[in-house]
């Protein structure tokens, strides 16, 4: 069950947080892992951890917002492996602000990574997946479907991710390429800790409890919990699933009053 032996997985933003959890879990299940990331120290540490545990992982420094960077990275992987089986488009950045407080450069920066980044990876990789099929998993967010205060640009980009997922799933049905997305709520990652220390110095513990309490289940998610859902959706056991968006949110999108 959930065996990824002999499968090649590309995971963007695999150096920390959810991406690291997905990378290490997929490697444990037998996949050869290629981490595309701009965070060189984090990505190298993840690769070293995987390889030390007798997994197989490689780091390729890549800014997914750049079509040239991404195409070169994908071509290098195909030259080594000749095939791509799984893509996890995890790389993303956040922004706090309403439409009035979001300037054009912020808007373009988020769109460049969160939307164009996924576009670049999928566009470069799909031609190499068409012969034998495969799975593409995009990381969206509950912000794509639930109104969250002060997250205008972020919510906009994650809504685009859901639309992109459906379009790819529809267009590549005949090639046996499945495409789904996951929409997490708040997950406790190093990003959350950095956000709290930057915006609420001295009040980190108080604000962490407040943010955790917004999930009806009473806590934030863990990166490994997201990784287990990702594993299922990218495995052969999920071969009947495509074009779906899965909330994994502690009840946030359905149970909040």
Where in the chain are the domains?
Answer: 8-185+223-247, 187-220
Residue range 70-82, pLDDT digits in tens: 999 999 999 999 9
The pTM of this model reads 0.95
Q: Which of 17-26, 122-131, 197-206 has the lowest mean pLDDT?
A: 197-206
pLDDT, position 214: 87
- Residue 183 belongs to what H/E stretch? strand 177-184
The answer as to CATH 3.40.50.410 being correct for domain 8-185+223-247 is no
Query: How far is 10 from 114, CA to CA, in rounded Å?
Result: 16
Identify the active-site residue in 34, 154, 172, 232.
154
Query: How far is 243 from 249, CA to CA, in rounded Å?
Result: 19
Yes or no: say if 107 and 162 are a contact pair by the CB < 8 Å rule.
no
pLDDT, position 257: 64
Query: How far is 192 from 223, CA to CA, in rounded Å?
Result: 12
Cα-flanking dihedrals φ and ψ of residue 14, to 5°? -85, 5
* Catalytic residue check, 154: yes
What value does the mean pLDDT take over residues 180-187? 96
Q: Which of 8-22, 111-125, 200-214, 236-250 has the lowest mean pLDDT?
A: 200-214
pLDDT, position 22: 98
**Residue 38 reports pLDDT greater than 90:** yes
Percent of the chain with pLDDT over 70: 100
Longest dimension (CA), the chain: 55
Query: How far is 156 from 113, CA to CA, in rounded Å?
Result: 13
Cα-flanking dihedrals φ and ψ of residue 143, to 5°? -65, -15
Cα-flanking dihedrals φ and ψ of residue 256, to 5°? -75, 135
**Looking at the chain, how many residues does it have?**
257
**Residue 198 reports pLDDT greater than 70:** yes
What value does the mean pLDDT take over residues 128-144? 97
Q: How far is CA 139 from CA 9, 162, 187, in A?
A: 15, 9, 13
3-state secondary structure of 227: helix
Yes or no: say if 169 and 191 are a contact pair by the CB < 8 Å rule.
no
Residue 159 makes CB contacts below 8 A (sequence gap 6+) with 144, 145
């Amino acid at each position: 069950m959930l065996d990824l032996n002999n499968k090649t997985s590309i995971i963007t933003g695999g150096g920390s947080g959810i991406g690291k959890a997905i990378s290490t879990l997929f490697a444990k299940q037998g996949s050869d892992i290629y981490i595309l990331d701009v965070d060189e120290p984090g990505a190298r540490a993840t690769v070293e951890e995987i390889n030390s545990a007798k997994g197989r992982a490689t780091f390729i420094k890549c800014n997914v917002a750049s079509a040239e960077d991404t195409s070169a990275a994908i071509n290098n992987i195909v030259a080594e492996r000749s095939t791509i089986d799984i893509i996890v488009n995890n790389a993303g950045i956040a922004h706090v602000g309403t439409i009035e407080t979001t300037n054009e450069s912020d808007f373009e920066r988020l769109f460049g990574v969160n939307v164009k980044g996924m576009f670049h990876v999928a566009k470069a990789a799909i031609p190499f997946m068409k012969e034998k099929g495969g799975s593409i998993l995009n990381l969206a967010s509950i912000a794509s479907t639930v109104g969250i205060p002060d997250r205008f640009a972020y919510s906009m980009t994650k809504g685009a991710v859901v639309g992109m997922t459906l379009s790819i799933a529809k267009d590549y049905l005949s090639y046996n390429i499945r495409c789904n997305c996951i929409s997490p709520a708040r997950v406790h990652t190093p990003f959350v800790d950095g956000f709290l220390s930057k915006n609420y110095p001295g009040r980190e513990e108080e604000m962490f409890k407040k943010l955790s309490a917004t999930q009806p289940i009473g806590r934030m998610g863990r990166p490994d919990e997201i990784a287990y859902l990702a594993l299922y959706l990218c495995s052969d056991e999920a071969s009947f699933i495509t074009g779906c968006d899965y909330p994994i949110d502690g009840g946030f999108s359905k149970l909040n009053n």
